[in-house]
Amino acid sequence: MRLLIFISLCYLLSCVKKPIEEGPGTVKWMVPTDRIGWCSPAIGPDGAVYIGDNEGILYALWDHDSTWSYKWEPRKIDEDLGETCPTITGNGKRLYIGSNTRPASMYCINTEDGAILWKYTLTENKTLYGGGLISSPALSHDEKTIYFGSGPWDSDLEVGPTSWLDDRFFALEDRGDSCRVKWIFKPEDPTDAVRFSFFGNPAVDKDGSIYIGTFGGYLYKLRDAGDHCEVLWKYAFRRRVATSSTEYQEVWGSPTLGPDGTVYITTNDWRLHAFTSNGKKKWHFETGGETWTTPVIANNGLLIFGSEDGHVYGIRDEGNSATEVWRYPEKSSETWWGTAAVAEDGTVVFGSEATKSSETGIYYAIDENDGSFKWKTPSLGMEARTHPAIGDNGTIYVSGGEGKNFFAIQGTAPLADSFWPKMQNNNKNSGKN
C-alpha cells in the first residue's frame, strides 16, 4: 500500500510544470532572422522595435513581454540591410536604413505600414566599385537632412583601379515623397590606407556640426552649408608603430559627444582620444590592444569602451588627462567586447566575441561604478556584438550575429538618461545630441 502511495506521489510530482526561468539575462523571446551585423535596433515612440537583416528584410516588432508579434509583415526591401542601424524621426513616422549592396541605396520607410516612401541609389555606374553602406544615418536637428557615409569593410575590397573606390559622405534632404542631394563630401587628403571608407556613424552636435571618422585615418568636423559642406577641422591619426613610410590609422568606431562639447573616438592605435570642439587634442588613454568600439557615457559620467586586449574600461575625463576607474575583467580575457549600452540603474550591457574559447556570443552586464559582474546571457551566436537597445520596460534587444536570430533579453531598467548612453545616443538612433 505504501509503495502504491509512493508511486502515486511520484507521478503527481512529475506532472507539476517546472517554473519558467526568469530574471536578468534570460531570453524573453526570439525572432528568426538572417545574420545581423554590428548595428543597433531602433525603438519608436510607440514601443515598436525595428531591425534589418542580411537578406534585406526589415522587421517591425511588438514586444508583449513573454512573446512578440509583427507590427506589419516583414518587408523585403533590398539584398542586405543587416549592416546599418535603422534611424527613426522624433515623431516615429519615418525610418531611414541603408543597404550594403553594390550599388548601395538609402531608403525612407513609412513606419505605419513598412511602405517605401523614397529610395536613393548612390550610383548607377556599374564600373564604379559601389561602396556599400555600413555607416548608419544621423539626423540634422530639424530632421530634414540625413547624413551617412559609404565604403565597405576592407575585406570586401575587390581588385581594381583606385578610381573604382566609392568613399563618400552624403547629405540628403528629405522632401516627403522624394529626396534631394544637398552635397557630397569626398576626402582628398593624403593617406597610405587602402581607402578612406566611412565605416563608423556620424554624430551631430547641438550647433549642427557633424563629426565623422574614416578608414583613411582622419577625424573630420564638417559644417552643413546648404549646397555644400565646409571642413571646419580635421585630425590625422598616425599608426602606433611607424614603418618605412608614414601610415595613417584606421578609424572604425563612431564619435561620441560629451556634455561640454568634447569629442571622443577610438582608433586602432590602442587608444581612446579626446578633442575639444575646436579640434585641440585634450588627451588619449592607452589600452593594451586595438580599440574600435564606440565609447558611451554612464550615469556617473564615466566613459565606457572595450578593447581587443580583453578588457572593458571605465575611465574619467579629468580635463587634460584621463583616469582609469576600473576595468572588466581584472585579468585580461581572450575576448573582444562590443559597444555597450547603459541602463538607468547603472547596468552596463555589451556583447562578446571570444577568440579562443566557447564563451562567445554572450551579452554581459556589469556595474558602472566599479565594473563588477552582474549577470550574463547564454550564448546567442557567433560575433554577437550588436550594440544593444534598451526599451522603456528594461528589455534589451540584441542579435545573435553570425548565429542569426533577434532576441529580447530580460533587463532591469530603461536606457539611461546620461548624455550619450548608447551607440547613436538614443533608441531612435538619431546620432544627435
Task: Give a yes or no: residue 4 inside a domain.
Answer: no
Task: Give a yes or no: residue 7 inside a domain.
Answer: no
Q: Taking Cα atoms as reference points, which of 137, 124, 59 lies closest to residue 97?
A: 137
Strands 169-174 and 341-342: unpaired
Which residues, in sequence order, are CB contacts of 244 under 8 Å at separation 6+? none
Amino acid symbol at 37: G
Grid-cell match 593617406, residue found = 191
Check residue 176 and give its pLDDT.
Answer: 96
Q: Taking Cα atoms as reference points, which of 193, 187, 148 lies closest to residue 167?
A: 187
Return the number of other C-beta atoms located less than 10 Å from residue 26's C-beta: 13
Positions of the chain with pLDDT lower than 70, given as ranges: 1-21, 124-131, 152-165, 194, 240-247, 356-358
**Cα 220 to the chain's mean position, in Å?**
19
Are the beta carbons of 307 and 337 closer than 8 angstroms?
Answer: yes
Are the beta carbons of 42 and 427 closer than 8 angstroms?
Answer: yes
Is residue 126 exposed (0-12), middle (13-18) or buried (19+ Cβ within 10 Å)? exposed
Check residue 354 and give its pLDDT.
Answer: 80
Are the beta carbons of 309 and 327 closer than 8 angstroms?
Answer: no
Grid-cell match 530580460, residue found = 410
Check residue 160 and give its pLDDT.
Answer: 52
Task: Give a yes or no: residue 424 inside a domain.
Answer: no
Check residue 188 and give its pLDDT.
Answer: 85
Task: Give a yes or no: residue 414 inside a domain.
Answer: no
Task: Give a yes or no: residue 48 inside a domain.
Answer: yes
Check residue 122 and give its pLDDT.
Answer: 86
Q: For 337-364, what is the HEC assignment?
A: ECCCEEECCCEEEEEEEECCCCCCCCEE
DSSP codes, 292-314: -SPPEE-TTS-EEEE-TTS-EEE
Rg (CA), the chain: 22
Task: Give a yes or no: residue 14 inside a domain.
Answer: no
Task: Give a yes or no: residue 12 inside a domain.
Answer: no
Check residue 12 and give its pLDDT.
Answer: 36
Check residue 8 and give its pLDDT.
Answer: 40
Give the CA distances from residue 358 to residues 135, 175, 211, 290, 352, in Å, rounded to whole numbers and listed in that order. 30, 49, 37, 22, 11
Which residues, in sequence order, are CB contacts of 4 under 8 Å at separation 6+? none
Task: Give a yes or no: residue 245 inside a domain.
Answer: yes
Q: Residue 37: which domain range?
A: 22-409
Which residues, in sequence order, are CB contacts of 316 under 8 Å at separation 6+? 301, 302, 303, 322, 323, 325
Is residue 226 left, alpha or beta, with left meaning phi > 0 and alpha meaning psi from -120 to 50? left
**Cα 280 to the chain's mean position, in Å?**
26
Cα(70)–Cα(255) distance, integer angstroms: 33
Cα(250)–Cα(268) distance, integer angstroms: 6
Are the beta carbons of 343 and 356 closer than 8 angstroms?
Answer: no
Collapsing DSSP to helix, strand or coil, 231 comes out as: strand
Return the number of other C-beta atoms located less than 10 Å from residue 16's C-beta: 7
DSSP codes, 186-200: -------SS-----S
Cα(374)–Cα(357) distance, integer angstroms: 21
Q: State the CATH number of the domain containing residue 284.
A: 2.130.10.10
Cα(274)–Cα(297) distance, integer angstroms: 13
Number of domains in the chain: 1
**H/E element holding 29?**
strand 27-31
